[in-house]
Amino acid sequence: MKLLFILDPLNSLKPYKDTSLAIMREASLRGDTLYVCKQHDLFLRANIAKVKAQVFNFTENAFSVEDENEFFPTDFDAIIMRKDPPFDNEYLYSTYLLEIAVAQGAKVYNSPSAIRSWNEKLSVTRFAQFAPEFLVAANSDLIRDFLVQHQDIVVKPLDGMGGSSIFRLTRNDPNISVILETITQFGARTIMAQRYLPAILQGDKRIIIIDGEPLPYALARIPKAGETRGNLAAGGKGVAQALSARDFEIASTVGKTLKAEGLFLVGLDVIGEHLTEINVTSPTGMVEIAAQTDCKPATIFMDALSKMCVNNF
């Protein structure tokens, strides 16, 4: 197969833990031809979608790329969108361009319209039966009322990643006002507040869904001492563990909807018994799970993608 991966700049990727590179390495071992580009390599010439891309090769030391060429998106058997958030206007425009490419016959995973529709924080509201108590608002008074009701909460922006700008608030916190002013930009930015879940101390579990089916292991991101966030980017430690019965209930239920929506690779965040986020942009965790268990996420991904491409031929 010819596969195009839309990535962040190659020099920003960390080969020892990068999920995109793990998938690409598995594809390379199968004999697939790999191409890479960045989001701004997508463009329209008149009404026709095009992309500038480079052949990507693994080398003994790392990887290399060949000269850039221009392609139609339909030249590839699959396009895998792996650009990291933040989901800003440029990311939004990329989903529009990819949606045009899909209308012209390209196969893009995840579905660009679904990425656009499934905000990674707000999407848990579609499965309120699994989510902790939450509030979505820009008004500080409403957030304060939510804090009074639950005593201990977490507030986070709707477009953050890697644990950035997540705050834990208790009623006696002397910095409540400045935190709410900062995170809501004085009432100009909508945020999500969730009841604090003490189970975070046992880990923020990343459950990977591939074509609607969960992997049998989650990656529990355990916060470092004195930290509320379990995100690996915030210093958390990743520990693979088998899915609990509750994990599987959440993942299998949510997975059915994700598959129907065209969301092929998704990372669910589960704390204790509760679903807290649905990551549809560039979920990670495959490398750590593969290193600590007998599960091979990249192999499972490529098996499913190959089947999908054959069925869509």
Distance between CA 201 and CA 308 in Å, rounded?
38
- Give the integer Cα–Cα distance in Å for 122 and 118: 7
Residue of 50, 83, 107, 156 marked active site = 156
Rounded Cα distance, 67 and 283, in Å? 29
Residue 73 near residue 79, CB atoms below 8 Å: yes
Establish whether 70 is a catalytic residue.
no
Q: Reply yes or no on whether 116 is catalytic.
A: no
The beta-carbon contacts of 248-255 under 8 Å, at least 24 apart in sequence, are 248/214, 250/127, 250/130, 250/207, 250/275, 251/207, 251/209, 251/214, 252/213, 252/214, 253/127, 253/130, 254/127, 254/130, 254/209, 254/278, 255/209, 255/212, 255/213, 255/214
Cα–chain center distance at 93: 18
Q: Is 277 a catalytic residue?
A: yes
Does the annotation count 206 as an active-site position? yes
Of the candidates 262, 286, 313, the one whose C-alpha atom is nearest the C-alpha of residue 25 is 286
Q: What b/e string do you get for 238-248 counting C-beta neighbours within 10 Å, with b at 16 or more?
A: bebbebeeebb
- 221 is an active site residue: yes
Q: Which of 121, 159, 205, 247 is catalytic?
A: 121
Integer-rounded Cα Rg, in Å, for the chain is 20
Active-site choice (18, 41, 269, 288): 269
> Is 61 a residue of the active site?
no
Catalytic residue among 221, 231, 261, 288: 221
User: Partners of 108 in the beta sheet?
Assistant: 79
Given 77, 205, 206, 211, the catalytic residue: 206
Residue 18 is a catalytic residue? no
Query: How far is the C-alpha of 282 from the C-alpha of 109, rounded, in Å?
Result: 11
Q: Which two tokens stand for residue 143?
A: 């957030």
- The amino acid sitting at 269 is D
- Concerning whether 211 is annotated as a catalytic residue, the answer is no
Q: Tell me which residues are annotated as active site.
A: 121, 156, 206, 221, 229, 269, 277, 279
